[in-house]
């Protein structure tokens, strides 16, 4: 093992590296598979280490790393063109984005909550991975990381209003997918019994 570690490496290692589990969690959602997620985490740390001099001590390190990850992912997979096409989704009207609301209007909600609670984690992750990247990542940062909208806006380089609408729509798309799955599994979500 090489003995010499520069001061820069020592400070990076002690501050940034402990955030690896959080970076890996986000990377898994970006890439949707463990091996690409590991590559993305490694690239993100490499880029962050290169830019460590520019990191302002005392500012939000996790958000800084997440932002580097956003750019690294876009560069690694050269996805910019594809992403631009996808953001056309932002312009859709609510009624075009799944039917989440109209269904839930007559749903017995406790039944739905119970059904959701019983869905296997793999099914939830599969559903998450089916919604477009920008929506999935906003849901992830808001729900799993608990980040404020303003921080998510910086990480994703979008206005706060976009974060808000992507969270709403992302959750709606997710919920519609999970409702469909729960119904296939034989859960009754529509409350027929309650109505008769």
List of residues contacting other proteins (CB under 8 A)? 2, 5-6, 8-9, 12-13, 17, 20-21, 24-25, 28-29, 34, 37-38, 41-42, 45-46, 49-50, 104, 109-110, 112-113, 116-117, 119, 121-122, 124-125, 128, 139-140, 142-144, 146, 148-149, 164, 167-168, 171, 174-175
| Residue number, 92 or 144, with CB nearest to other proteins | 144
Nearer to other proteins, 91 or 117 (CB): 117
- The token pair at 25 is 């969690």
Q: What is the distance between the alpha carbons of residues 35 and 127, in angstroms, rounded to a whole number?
A: 20
Among positive and negative, which fits the CA dihedral 143, 144, 148, 149?
negative
**8 or 82: CB nearest other proteins:** 8
Q: What number of other Cβ atoms are within 10 A of residue 128's Cβ?
A: 23
Gap between the Cα atoms of 183 and 190, Å rounded: 9
Least CB distance to other proteins at residue 81 (A): 28
* Closest separation in Å from C-beta 167 to other proteins: 5
Calculate the alpha carbon distances from 122 to 34, 107, 184 in Å: 14, 24, 16
Residue 96 has what DSSP assignment?
G
Residue 117 Cβ vs other proteins, minimum distance, rounded to whole Å = 6
CB of 84 to other proteins, least distance (A): 26
Within 8 A by CB and 6+ apart from 147, the residues are: 63, 141, 155
Q: By C-beta, is 33 or 82 nearer to other proteins?
A: 33
Closest to other proteins by CB, 80 or 137: 137
Transcribe 96-119 into DSSP letters.
GS-SHHHHHTT--HHHHHHHHHHS
Rounded to a whole number of angstroms, the minimum distance from the CB of residue 80 to other proteins is 25
């Amino acid at each position: 093992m090489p003995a010499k570690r520069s001061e820069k490496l020592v400070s990076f290692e002690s501050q940034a590296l402990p955030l690896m589990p959080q970076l890996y969690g986000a990377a898994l959602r970006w890439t949707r598979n463990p091996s690409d997620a590991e590559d993305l985490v490694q690239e993100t740390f490499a880029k962050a280490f290169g830019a460590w001099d520019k990191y302002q001590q005392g500012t939000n390190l996790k958000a800084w790393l997440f932002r580097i990850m956003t750019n690294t992912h876009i560069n690694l997979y050269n996805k910019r063109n594809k992403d631009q096409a996808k953001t056309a989704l932002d312009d859709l009207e609510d009624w075009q984005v799944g039917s989440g609301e109209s269904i839930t209007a007559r749903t017995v909600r406790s039944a739905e909550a119970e059904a959701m609670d019983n869905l296997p984690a793999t099914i939830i992750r599969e559903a998450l991975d089916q919604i477009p990247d920008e929506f999935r990542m906003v849901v992830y940062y808001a729900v799993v990381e608990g980040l404020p909208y303003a921080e998510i806006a910086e990480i994703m380089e979008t206005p706060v209003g976009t974060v808000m609408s992507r969270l709403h729509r992302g959750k709606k798309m997710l919920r519609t997918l999970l409702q469909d799955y729960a119904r296939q599994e034989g859960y009754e979500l529509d409350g027929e019994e309650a109505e008769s």
